[in-house]
Structure 1
Amino acid sequence: MSGWAAACGVVATLLLPVYSAQAQKSYKVEAKWTIGGEGGWDYLLADSSAHRLYVTHGQRVEVIDLEVGKPVGAITGLKGTHGVALDADGKFGYISDGGANQVVIFDRQSLQTVGTVPAGTNPDGIVFEPVTKTVWAFNGRSKDVTVIDTASRKVIATVALPGKPEFPTADGKGNVYDNIEDKNEIVRLDAKSPKVTATWSLGKCESPSGMAIDRSGHRLFSVCDGKVMAVVDYESGKVIATPAIGDGPDAAAYDPKTKLAFSSNGEGTLTVVDASNSQYNVVQTLTTEPRARTMALDAATGKVYLVTAQFGPRPAATANNPRPRPSVLPNTFTVVVAGQ
Structure 2
Amino acid sequence: MVSFIQKITMAACLIGTFQVSVQAQTTPTYAFIEKISLPTGDGKWDYLKMDGERERLFVSHFDRVHVIDLTTNKQIGEITGLKGVHGIGLAKELNKGYITNGTDNTITVFDYNTFKVLQTIPVTGKKADAVMYDKGTKRIFVFNNGSGDAVAIDAVTDKVIGTVTMGGAPEFAVANEKGSIFNNNEDTNEIFEIDAKTLKVKNKYTVAPAGGVPTGIAYDASTNRLFSVCRKPQALVVMDASTGKIVQSLPIGGGVDAVVYEKELKLIMTSNGEGNVTIIHQDSADTYSIVQTLTTKPGQKTMVHRGTTHRIYLSGADYQADGKTLVPGTFGVYVYGPTVKQ
Q: Does 1:276 align with 2:279?
A: no
The equivalences for 1:288-307 within 5 A come to: 288-307=296-315
Q: In structure 2, do the counterparts of structure 1 residues 126 and 28 end up closer, same or farther at CA, with 3 Å as the change threshold?
A: same
Q: How much has 1:328 moved relative to structure 2? A: 2.5
Q: In structure 2, do the counterparts of structure 1 residues 5 and 126 end up closer, same or farther at CA, with 3 Å as the change threshold?
A: farther
CA–CA separation in structure 2 for the residues paired with 1:193 and 1:132? 10
Indicate which of 313, 323, 326 corresponds to 2:324.
326
* Cα offsets for 1:160-207 (capped at 9, x unmatched): 113110101111111100000011100000001111000001013111
CA–CA separation in structure 1 for the residues paired with 2:331 and 2:105? 25
Q: In structure 2, do the counterparts of structure 1 residues 201 and 63 end up closer, same or farther at CA, with 3 Å as the change threshold?
A: same
Q: Does 1:29 align with 2:32?
A: yes
Q: Does 1:285 align with 2:306?
A: no
CA–CA separation in structure 2 for the residues paired with 1:270 and 1:116? 36
3-state SS, counterpart of residue 188 of structure 2: coil
Q: In structure 2, do the counterparts of structure 1 residues 239 and 151 end up closer, same or farther at CA, with 3 Å as the change threshold?
A: same
Please report the TM-score for the alignment, with normalisation by the length of structure 2.
0.90
When structure 1 is superposed on structure 2, of 112-121 and 294-303 the one drifting more is 112-121
Q: Percent identity?
A: 37
Q: In structure 2, do the counterparts of structure 1 residues 70 and 239 end up closer, same or farther at CA, with 3 Å as the change threshold?
A: same
CA–CA separation in structure 2 for the residues paired with 1:262 and 1:179? 17
Aligned to 2:199: 194
Structure 1 residues not aligned, in runs of 5+: 315-324
Q: In structure 2, do the counterparts of structure 1 residues 11 and 93 end up closer, same or farther at CA, with 3 Å as the change threshold?
A: farther
Q: In structure 2, do the counterparts of structure 1 residues 331 and 95 end up closer, same or farther at CA, with 3 Å as the change threshold?
A: same
Aligned to 1:231: 238
3-state SS, counterpart of residue 215 of structure 2: coil
Q: How much has 1:127 moved relative to structure 2? A: 1.0
3-state SS, counterpart of residue 280 of structure 2: strand
The equivalences for 1:105-124 within 5 A come to: 105-119=109-123, 120-124=125-129
Aligned to 1:181: 186
The answer to whether the 8 A contact 1:21-1:283 is kept is no
Aligned to 2:249: 242
3-state SS, counterpart of residue 218 of structure 2: strand
Amino acid at match of 1:236: T
When structure 1 is superposed on structure 2, of 253-262 and 66-75 the one drifting more is 66-75
Q: Does 1:135 align with 2:140?
A: yes
CA–CA separation in structure 1 for the residues paired with 2:266 and 2:131? 24
Please report the TM-score for the alignment, with normalisation by the length of structure 1.
0.91
Q: How much has 1:100 moved relative to structure 2? A: 2.1
CA–CA separation in structure 2 for the residues paired with 1:32 and 1:228? 28
Q: Which has the higher strand share?
A: 2
Aligned residues: 328
Q: In structure 2, do the counterparts of structure 1 residues 131 and 19 end up closer, same or farther at CA, with 3 Å as the change threshold?
A: farther
Aligned to 2:226: 220
Q: Over the residues paired in the alignment, what is the CA RMSD in angstroms?
A: 2.2
Structure 2 residues not aligned, in runs of 5+: none
3-state SS, counterpart of residue 126 of structure 1: strand
CA–CA separation in structure 2 for the residues paired with 1:195 and 1:88? 26
Q: Does 1:39 align with 2:47?
A: no
CA–CA separation in structure 2 for the residues paired with 1:280 and 1:126? 29
